[in-house]
Amino acid sequence: MFKTRSCLITGAAGNLGRAVAGKFSSEGATLVLLGRSVEQLRAAFPSADARTLLVAADLLDSASVEAAVKSAAKHCGRIDILCNLAGGFRMGPPVHETPDATWDLMLGLNARSVVNTARAVVPLMLAAGYGKIVNVAATAGLAGKENMAAYSAAKAAVMRLTESMSAELRDKGINVNCVLPSIIDTPENRAGMPAADPRRWVAPAALADIIAFLASDAARAIHGASIPVSGLV
């Protein structure tokens, strides 16, 4: 399905990143995998072949992202698909007690990272007249909950960024959509919630299937959507 496409994935070394990279690789895509360090990426992808470029980038530093995307474009010739998977979660105190550092961290990891990749990648897509962008928000962005204000606000921002980008780019051959997972079944979540039933959560491979669909031409009529992927939660 993606044999002629190149796909850039942020947060590639994470649980979801590995699943999404595996999905696109199995469909023939050329991959550009971004992570905090090349060593981390090599550990996550020990069998990476010539179709895969491992690139270190600080997603909160626009210059670092720009350099990584330039390297990617040189390797691939173009960037057809951008999957913004990088993000982070923190519980917090009540809103009035939340420190600046928590606000900055949540908004940075989840929303500013999307803005920085957009600045670097969208001009390439505009020049090509083609592109698919899939962002990862969360069901937590749909409503505020106790002690989750910074995270919920950041994921709501990802949804609004998705909608704004879609409105700006849909007439230029670029689809922008996002997914809203609930709890993803990861080792970290299992350790943090030992009494929960992970069979009700969203498997990374299942979420990867939805992301790949949104990045495919089969989803060409979908613009600015926020698609819940909540499993049985």
- What is the rounded CA–CA span in Å between residue 81 and residue 152? 26
- What is the rounded CA–CA span in Å between residue 2 and residue 6? 8
State which amino acid sits at residue 204: P
φ, ψ of residue 123 to 5 degrees: the values are -55, -35
Bridge partners of 56, per DSSP, are 35
Helix or strand run (H / E) with residue 163: helix 149-169
Bridge partners of 227, per DSSP, are 179
Give the chain's count of helices (H) and strands (E): 8, 7
State which amino acid sits at residue 114: V
Which strands sit side by side in the sheet containing 226-229, from one edge to the other? 52-56, 30-35, 6-10, 81-84, 131-136, 174-181, 226-229
Annotated catalytic residue within 134, 151, 161, 175: 151
Is 151 catalytic? The answer is yes
- What is the rounded CA–CA span in Å between residue 210 and residue 134? 10
End-to-end Cα distance, the chain: 31
Q: Which residues does the annotation mark as catalytic?
A: 151
